[in-house]
Amino acid sequence: MVKLQLLTLPNLTGYVHIQTNPKLSYSTAGTIDNACRIIDIFKALAPDFDTKRVCIKIPSTWEGLQACRSLEMKSIATLATTMFCMEQAALAAESQCTYIAPYVNELKVHFEEGYVDQNKAFDFCREAQAYYISHSFRTQVLAASLTSVDEVMQLAGIQHVTISPNLLRGLASTDLSSWNGHLGEYFAQGPANKSWETRDYSALVKDESAWRLAFTRSGFGASEGKIIQAINCFADFQEKLEDLVKQHAG
């Protein structure tokens, strides 16, 4: 994966993103070791490359976000991925993550034909960004898991966005002057839920038991269910990739 990322460097000016092994999602120490190994591989393969441009993507479990905290203290940039609720967003900010990646659609929309997420996270993207700005956190929002050009256009005003090649081509062929869809619909107004202005997460993010319970209860269990689904999906692909490498390694 590091070799693949190095091939993209001529087209990039900012961070190179690479994700830790998802099977380590519930191991802080394992995730830290995996992230440091990734940095070491970059150094070995490209000695002249500035590894401060590497941003490590880590699932937003309690353990994963503690790993982010430790890595950021080592000046290794992190992105808290598989993000679905403010409990995760608050802990990511307190952990000094460089980015969070809220999933606008749950992951299985990309793998289960015909499936539609009925609870898209547009409001969460807006609320997280407003919360960070209001409280002067350094963490920035990088939305992910988008399925259409219209969804991308609705997010106009967000700090960053992940766009697949197919959607990039769609955007490139879109004439904005004749666009009749929604443009910046969610960021043209303040958050629907104003609780971000007064909600204090400072005690919650320091209490593992309280945070885990709050995360479990978020969305009546929907947020936790979505991250479990995402980790399972990523772990399945991790195992397929490992099997492929073993086959070709002889």
* Average pLDDT rounded to a whole number, residues 187-192: 64
Domains and CATH numbers, the chain: 2-249 (3.20.20.70)
pLDDT single digits (tens) 77-129: 999 999 999 999 999 999 999 999 999 998 888 888 888 888 899 999 999 99
pLDDT single digits (tens) 125-157: 999 999 999 899 999 999 999 999 999 999 999
CB-CB contact of 42 with 54 (8 Å): yes
What average pLDDT is seen over the chain? 92
Residue with token string 């994963």:
64
Instruction: Quote the CA–CA distance of 159 and 148 in Å, as a whole number.
Output: 18
Strand order in the sheet with 160-161: 16-19, 54-59, 77-83, 99-102, 140-143, 160-161
Instruction: Quote the CA–CA distance of 43 and 5 in Å, as a whole number.
Output: 13
Which of the pair, 176 or 50, is modelled with greater confidence? 50
Own/partner pairs, 208-214, CB within 8 angstroms, 24+ separation? 208/62, 211/62, 211/87, 211/91, 212/62, 214/87
